[in-house]
Copies of this chain bind each other. A is one copy, B any other.
Amino acid sequence: MADKASDSEIREAMKALPHWELEGDGIVRAFEFNDFSAAFGFMTRVALEAERMNHHPEWTNVYNKVLIRLSTHDAGGLTQRDFKLAAGIDAIAGNA
C-alpha cells in the first residue's frame, strides 16, 4: 500500500498538476466537454486507466461535465498513486 504523502511531498507533486486543486484530503479537477458523448468517452478512457492502476476515482458526471476527486482511502489521504492517476487523467484530457 502507498504511504500517505507528507505536506512537502504534496506541495512538490502539485507543482506538476497545475489543473488540480487540493480539497480536504484529496485533489479535484473539473472537466467540461462538448456533449455527453465526449464526456463519457473521456470517462471510459479514465476508467480503463484506473482499472489498470487498480486505483479508482470518485467522480460525478452531469451531461458534458465531469468532476473527479482523487484520494487514497486506505492511507487516509493523498499518496503517490493519486498523483500518478491525476497525471494519467491529464494525459487523457490532452493537457498534461
Q: Is the CB of B61 within 8 A of A59?
A: yes
In the complex, A40→B44 CA distance in Å? 8
Q: Is A6 an interface residue (CB 8 A)?
A: no
Indicate if the CB atoms of A56 and B51 lie closer than 8 Å: no
Whether, in the assembled complex, A36 has its beta carbon less than 8 Å from a beta carbon of chain B, the answer is yes
Please give the count of copies of this chain that the complex contains. 2
**Cβ of A51: which chain B residues have Cβ within 8 Å of it?**
36-37, 40
A15-59 toward B: CB 8 Å interface, digit per residue (1/0)?
000000000000000000000110010011001001100001111
Residues of B within 8 A of A59 (CB): 60-61
A50 to B37, CA, bound (A): 10
- Tell me the nearest residue of chain B to A50, going by C-beta: B36
